[in-house]
Structure 1
Amino acid sequence: MADLQYTPIEEIEKIHASLQAGFKSGRARDIKYRKHQLLQLAYLLKDNKDRFNQAAGLDLGRSYPENEILEHYVSLEQIKYTFDNFEKWTKPESAEFSIYFGARPQIRKEPKGVVLIFVPFNYPIMLLMSPLAGAIAAGNTICVKVSELLPATSSLLAELFPKYLDQDLYRIVNGDIPVSTKLLELPWDHILYTGSGRVGKIVAAAAAKHLTPVTLELGGKCPTIVDPRVNLKVAAKRILWGRTSNAGQTCVAPDYVLIPKNGEEAFINALKEAYREFYPNGTTEPGNIARLPNHGSFDRVKGLLDDTKGTIILGGETDREAKYIAPTIVKNVGPEDSLMKDEIFAPILPIITVGDFDEAIEFINARDHPLALYIFTDDSKLKEKVFSNTRSGSCVCNEVVLQIPTPGLPFGGFGASGNGGYHTGKYSFDLFTHQRSTLTMPNWMEVALASRYPPFSSRKSKLVETLSSPSFPPRDSVYNPRGWGKWVVGFLTLGASILWTQRKNLTAH
């Protein structure tokens, strides 16, 4: 596969202008043409599955089966769902009934315009195809910047885009920091960035100069609370899978475990059993565990392991030349440990013991809001307590990561983990859609609306009050249940008295 060719800096403005012209042409707004381009996008993946699997192996050391499970089939499902449903999403919505019903108030679904999507290295196909499908369905023209850490995948996308998609409407740009910087100097109608919080701040600051709306998906440290009473064998398998898939380079992967001290030993034994089941011949065999994208990432993760004060109980092996970090479990990890400073983004799972679940909740709430929060428990009250007393992008019980491909759920962060939501079907469509309010006021409503004109009078004021002033229940009716209670008791007493009187009269006769 050819070396990655960066897009020349001087071409960036020309691409931007071409996409603006493409949007003004109106071709991207045609429903049938959108459907055609979505179908082309699907076949771009289907026709080249083996080539994308090969590229993932070259870039990330990811095996074909893992790549198909994590990216290929999920992406196709997202495109298919959008293809099947987006036409109805484009229909105008009528506003709720009001005194302005005669004006036929509606919400039109219109494309935002020319949008920019930054795609990270860890899931370059899934995190491209989902928002790209939504942006196409919404009628936008689109510029895509794929991570330069993926030369094979980025080169393949640059080759295939012109063969399958309309280049007047959808373009791939490749390059490193200077290319990204040039892109951010230009005015866009929306920017979607997925990556680190450090770069997210740069993107947001650049977008602010043009008042460009921005959606940020930034990750963070996703906590996992484990109730020792749960099926620990199942919990350990799911947590270990979520932590080690794609070499732990998943923004919603469980980043650390919080467990009461009395359950730690049993949970560690369950992790060891799952570890042996996952890697019966060891983890170094090709395809068993993906690799990190470059030596800089390896050195960062190796430094975390070297500096930890915790005890490595499984894994710990590393190979810089191969950019390999073994799946690693670390216990006796403290709140200030090197593994707890930032998102690990590698197949390393720290275990932190707590006194009880209240302490676990306090631990989570003392830190930035995570992109995902997990709890493993069969206690519905404990689940509700965690859900209700924490804040996160998503909150999942007895599973990890699978909230991402689940249809009908938005994917988005909160606070330091990002803002906005997209990813599944309509949420990506909505992200790149402007909901435009419309009214068409008929002349016959002038009778009802004439009171707004001067000269003003008490008669006009009274008419406006009659038409527009809302009524409320008594001020104490919500917080003082006795206000209604006395009436309920009164009516029940009255009803009982009437029934007793009627029964007495019948008996007398």
Structure 2
Amino acid sequence: MENPAVEISALPTVNEAAIQQLFRAQKGRSEALRREVIRERSARLRKLGNWIEQNRPAIQAALQADFRKPAEETDLTEIWPSQIEIKHAIKHLRKWTKPRKVGTPMALLGTKSWVQCEPKGVCLIIAPWNYPFYLALDPLVSALAAGNCCIVKPSEITPHVAALLRRMAEELFDPAEVVVVEGDKEVATVLLRLPFDHIFFTGSPAIGKVVMRAAAEHLTSVTLELGGKSPVIVDETADLRDAAEKIVWGKCINAGQTCVAPDYLLVHENVKSDLVQHIREAIHRFYDPAGEGVAASASYARIVNKHHFERLASLLEEAQYQGATVEMGGIVEASQCFIEPTLLIGAAPNSRLMQEEIFGPLLPVQTFSTLMQATSFVNERPRPLALYVFSGSRENQKYLLQNIPAGGSCVNETILHLAHPELPFGGIGNSGIGRAHGYSGFLAFSNEKSVLKQRTGQTGIKTMYPPYNDKVKRMIGWLLAWF
């Protein structure tokens, strides 16, 4: 594919003094943005949406260059959800920013109270490499909707998208409002030394801890969108063909490099063989309909770089050495960073495959005989970012949803909760802190200021001012007894 927008040079040298200057400029500008009317925020978001629409081929080309992501997959997982977030924010922004009245308790009769959202100020967005466009744009939309200035640090692992994001910011925004700073972990370290008003990080739990420690130095609030091992549970009442198609799609989109990808499969022992066969057939239909092999498919992405390819290849090799059987797939090609969709049966529970987040197209399969057994298996591990339940039984669905804590969940589906702007997205425990998308994303970048307005003159609370004589003591007693 001809690449109309992906011309990258060496990463620009951004020294600490230059970054500090950008930060100071945004600090100064943030006070003006605080006073903006809503239509100015909406106009900024519309410009962003128009740019995405006009640069769709360039976005597709950048993702193709970075890890051979199919254009259709870019449309579906990078462009469409970004546009959804923008349209949703524009539609609801006036409602979100309107002061929210709250009731008045009897003890505070005569007062009026409300909650009004105000921008936090200057925010840092550290975006990951797996969905490098969408996962930079999604928090940026929320930050702009809330009225903030932003520094965006894209991943150096996807340099073509990083360069495209830099061009986007330069064409659309004053750098005192939004700027993209490219660079590696040294640049990120410099950024994390600054006293931002909020940090939004998407990435691994290990780096999330680094970000949180840095934020603690300035008592900066954080949103951490992390990951973990998201299980799929398929019981004996599930529609197996339907489940197989959705599991394969969720696992193989972006070659499995998705934070909410199905990480391992727990299937009822009575339907395991049938489900595996349906998964085999679904992979063939999706990625090898001509029988030429998945490597020949234009619908299947590649592992992002050699480092991540080698990590996945070692997981596969080690799992087999420890007794796992490759039920299907298993082909790897280092020169292409290609790993075939692979089902593994009988992986040891203490293997790295079952302990680490896979982040690739390897799917270990375990069996269970009771829902309690499946629940215990999941709950013995860190809290997952997503839980996927496939069942035709409402009772079973309810049991699993109630008994397995997770950041989010789908019933008879995978991945799609991520695309719903009305659903808060985020993790729990090891899989994340805070929520994103829609109103939740707006709140993440806002300070919810509480306001109480009192009348002047005599008020109820004045009857309890010092000195604490017998009359005041009686008033306080009535307050405790009746209000």
**TM-score of the two chains, using structure 1 as the length reference:** 0.89
CA distance in 1: counterparts of 2:327 and 2:369, whole angstroms: 22
Corresponding position of 1:72: 79
Shift of 1:7: 4.7
Q: Which residue of 2 aligns with 1:477?
A: none
CA distance in 1, matches of 2:297, 2:160: 18
Distance 1:427 1:284 in 2: 40
Cα deviation, residue 436, structure 1: 0.7
TM-fit CA distance, 1:438: 1.4
Determine whether 1:165 maps to 2:178: no
Deviation of 1:286 after TM superposition, in Å, equals 4.8
Q: What letter is aligned with 1:322?
A: Q
Partner Cα separation in structure 2 for residue 14 and residue 257 of structure 1 = 49
Are 1:193 and 2:201 matched, yes or no? yes
Q: Within 1, Cα distance between the matches of 2:35 and 2:416?
A: 32
Tell me the residue number matched to 2:469: 457
1:59-106 Cα shifts (integer Å, max 9, x gaps): 121011111011111110110110111121111111212233433212
CA contact (8 A) 2:426 2:433 kept: yes
Larger-gyration structure (1/2)? 1
What is the 5 A alignment of 1:279-358?
A: 279=287, 280-281=289-290, 282-308=293-319, 309-358=323-372
Partner Cα separation in structure 1 for residue 295 and residue 377 of structure 2: 35
- SS across alignment from 1:102: coil
Question: CA-atom RMSD, angstroms?
Answer: 1.5
* Counterparts of 2:21 and 2:58, CA distance in 1: 30
Instruction: Give the distance between the partners of 1:372 and 1:420, measured in 2 at CA.
Output: 15
What's the offset of the Cα at 1:269? 1.0
Given the alignment of the two structures, is residue 275 of structure 1 paired with residue 283 of structure 2, yes or no?
yes
* CA 1:470–1:286: 2 relative to 1, 3 Å: farther
Cα gap change, 1:28/1:232 in structure 2, threshold over 3 Å: closer, same or farther? farther
Could you tell me how far apart the structure 1 residues matched to 2:383 and 2:280 are? 30
Q: CA deviation at 1:370?
A: 0.3
More deviation in 281-290 or 203-212?
281-290
Q: 1:169 to 1:356 in 2, by over 3 A?
A: same
Structure 1 range deviating more: 234-243 or 96-105 = 96-105
CA distance in 2, matches of 1:261, 1:25: 62
> 2:187 maps to what in 1?
179
Give the equivalent residue in structure 1 for 2:114. Answer: 106
Aligned partner of 1:498 in structure 2 is none
Any unmatched runs of 5+ in structure 2?
A: 1-6
Matched residue, 1:3? 9
1:433 is the counterpart of 2:446 = yes
2:123 maps to 1:123: no
Secondary structure in 1 aligned to 2:326? Answer: strand
1:30 to partner: Cα distance: 3.2
In structure 2, what is the Cα distance between the partners aligned to 1:176 and 1:404?
28
Q: Which residue of 1 aligns with 2:211?
A: 203
Residues in 2 aligned to 1:285 and 1:181: alpha-carbon distance in whole angstroms: 40
Residue by residue over 1:219-276, the C-alpha shift from the partner in whole angstroms, topping out at 9 and shown as x without a partner, is: 0000111112211000000001100000001111110011122221111111111122
- Is residue 464–residue 475 contact of structure 2 (8 Å, CA) maintained in 1? no
Question: What's the offset of the Cα at 1:333?
Answer: 2.0
**CA deviation map 1:157-188 (0-9, x unaligned):** 11121111232211101000110000011100
- Equivalent residue letter for 1:460: V
Shift in CA distance, 250/229, structure 1 to aligned 2, threshold 3 Å: same
Distance 1:138 1:203 in 2: 22
Q: Name 1:479's counterpart in structure 2.
A: none
SS of equivalent to 1:378: coil
Partner of 2:374: 360
Residue 468 of structure 1, CA deviation: 5.4
Residue 231 of structure 1 is matched in structure 2 by 239
User: Residues 449 and 27 of structure 1: is their aligned pair in 2 closer, same or farther, counting only changes over 3 Å?
Assistant: closer
Q: CA deviation at 1:467?
A: 4.4
Structure 2 counterpart of 1:500: none
- Distance in 2 (CA, whole Å) between partners of 1:185 and 1:25 is 24
Q: Could you tell me which amino acid in structure 1 is paired with residue 251 of structure 2?
A: R
The TM-score normalised by the length of structure 2 is 0.94
Count of residues paired in the alignment = 469
* Whole-Å separation in 2 of the counterparts to 1:146 and 1:28: 29
- The answer to whether the 8 Å contact 1:37/1:166 transfers is no
Cα separation, partners in 2 of 1:54 and 1:293, compared to 1, 3 Å: same
Identity over the aligned pairs, expressed in percent? 36
Tell me the SS of whatever aligns to 1:358: helix
What are the within-5 Å matches in structure 2 for residues 365-404 of structure 1?
Answer: 365-404=379-418
- Which residue of the other structure, out of 75, 83, 89, is the alignment partner of 1:82? 89
